[in-house]
Amino acid sequence: MAPAQKQLKVLPSSDRDPTDGALFLNRELSIIEFNHRVLQMAQDPTIPLLERLRYLAIFSSNIDEFFEVRVAGLKERAQADLASPYPDGRTPVSLLKLIAQRCHALIDDQYRALNDELLPELANNGIRVLKRTELSANQTAWLRRYFKREVMPVLSPMGLDPAHPFPNVQNKGLNIVVNLEGRDAFGRDSGVAILPVPRCLPRLIHLPADLANSPHHFVMLSSVIHDNVDRIFPSMRVTGCHQFRVTRNSDMWVDEDEADDLLDAIKGELHGRNYGAAVRLEVADNCSADTVRFLREQHGLDEADVYQVNGPVNLHRVSALVDLVDRADLKFPPTTPRFSEYLGPKTDPFAALTEHDVLLHHPYESYAPVVTLLNTAATDPSVLAVKMTLYRTGADSPIVRALINAARNGKEVTAVVELRARFDEAANIGLATQLQEAGATVAYGVVGHKCHAKMLLIVRREEGRIRRYVHLGTGNYHTQTSRFYTDFSYLTSNPEIGEDVHNVFQQLTSLGGVLPMHRLLHAPFTLKSTLLELIEAETEAARAGRTARIRAKLNALSDPTVIAALYDASRAGVEIDLVVRGICCLRPGVPEVSESIRVRSILGRFLEHARVYHFHADGQDLVFTASADWMDRNLNRRVEVAVPIIDEPLKRRVTSEAIDLALEDNSNAWALDQDGTYHRVIPGENEPQHLQTRLLDRLKD
């Protein structure tokens, strides 16, 4: 059963304002709730053990980014005394207090899960992360030799004195604070040294199997340094040695209107990301109060910003165990994506797309046909031009290699590279440079609007006329993440869609007014207004007593205007089902406001990433796949596209695989309650239904 819900005050229907701040959940608190669900996956005993460790690391990495970007932004607003940017009206100061309370509790739970559940269970399976006190004499001797050979040469300890102030330690880097007694060779006795640990050193050290009597025994680098700290400070007495880590503001800001060259401007800001203002201090829980206060004051942090932890200060690094330990029985079973019946390994993609539109559902279906299409275009003498948007591609991308090959083969290659894809800026600068050197035309989109659309356009001359081939995706052109992100690829040679995509590229690379579209919805021009029109049409249908239904699968829902429109639709009686993986600022189940709205979130071995919109439309069943979530930034400040799925069999596939099965999931689904908390959906007496498992079975070869 769902936990008891806190009821909001119910006003008469005529007095309810759908834009009332009390009807909106806070975005930042919603992010925390999402990460709580990730943490629950790490605590789920039905999930393979090493995968649970991976979820624990994902939680750690997500919380890092939350502090680097969201908490950092709130601190800036609080210091500048700026008003709340949220519809719920919370002030930055009050929100920071709530965030600290919630994050302290969750991080305590994280380390309890590590120490009380995962590490003991790993040990029961022969996988151990040994503490210093658990090492044998032979293991200690081997590690001392390892330290002397591999670690000591790259360490640069800094004793603090007037000539050596506290170092500006890197964002999220491992550091050791060492308390010392005695005088050094120069007679100095400051008593404190800081030891930054270089990132080139592995954080987990694998003990030789013959030495450990096991193939899976490890030691944390911090433990090895601690055990050898006396060798770093000869003739001094070490009275304390504790790891710590500082999280810094990592959100880059570039004045695009003033920058003459966006690439150079972003390149110049990258280094500063590691040294922004401190927003969080993590430190070992056995560190003395005086030392913690010293570290906190050095970074200008409050007590609430300090997180004392019982274990490694960066649990993300512990996830290396998942790849270092070869135990298939402790991981999800491997899967092999199937090939589409129309785009097999040896199929001519142009011939296939001339006959059929093709829908691919990744990772259940292979991403290889997308790469094959691009590789074929790169060498096909009939192909004249290739245009593509690139947001995140990953290192050594076959997509980028294909574009380079196309340019070298004389094709007219245009790449719209989004340099401002957060934390991928350096990689995108590198790929832009590679493409330019190969002769491709590289554009960086439109000032003030990130290009988040996923579009590939191939222009081919066939029998004396031009035919366009298009790929539109809900996810990035990233062959690695396509293996564990669920996304749709829609491939077509439909002339109207081809012309629409051509027009979007024209707007991205050239100048001129808004170009008309046959079928595509595109932000920031027609996507939001059309969504609101479609919601209003369902609202009017419900008021007239006709069937009305809205369903959507999204990563996030936070746009106030869209939420207000959904509230109006619910009040009219529209049945609304939303599958929102992460942020959701809509309150479902509020009497006389959102009683007919249901929201759920699904997590699993794959990251639910596809965006799908479905409107009943008096039986027409309008279905779109899209690059855009229903967020203010996506609908108003980004270049996005949504494509209508016209082919009836493909439309049924999208709604079934993305929405129907998601609404039937009773194993890895969480339902959102009106107070902003989530409760896990349980099978009860029903047969367990798991969206991803069912799709793996349905779409296997």
What residues act catalytically?
A: 452
Compute φ and ψ for 198, nearest 5 degrees. -60, 145
Q: How far apart are CA 444 and CA 389, in angstroms?
A: 10
The sign of the torsion formed by the CA atoms of 117, 118, 122, 123 equals: negative
Long-range contacts (CB closer than 8 Å, 24 or more residues apart) made by 395-402: 395/427, 397/431, 397/477, 397/478, 397/479, 398/371, 398/479, 399/371, 399/374, 399/477, 399/478, 399/479, 400/431, 400/434, 400/435, 402/371, 402/374, 402/375, 402/377, 402/378
The residue type at 586:
L
Helix 527-543 with 560-572: angle, nearest 10 deg: 10
Please work out, in degrees rounded to the nearest 5, the angle formed at the alpha carbon of residue 655 by the alpha carbons of 652 and 656. Answer: 80
| Strand-pair partners of 615 | 550, 622
Q: How far apart are CA 202 and CA 208, in angstroms?
A: 15
Q: How far apart are CA 268 and CA 254, in angstroms?
A: 10
Q: Assess contact for 277 and 249: CB atoms under 8 A.
A: yes
**How many other C-beta atoms are found inside a 10 Å radius of the C-beta of residue 547?**
12
Q: What is the dihedral of CA 477, 479, 480, 483, to 10 degrees?
A: 100
List, as one string, the DSSP characters of 577-598: EEEESS-B-B-TT-TTTSTTEE
Q: Assess contact for 161 and 197: CB atoms under 8 A.
A: no
Q: Assess contact for 273 and 171: CB atoms under 8 A.
A: yes
Q: Assess contact for 337 and 367: CB atoms under 8 A.
A: yes
Q: Assess contact for 218 and 130: CB atoms under 8 A.
A: yes
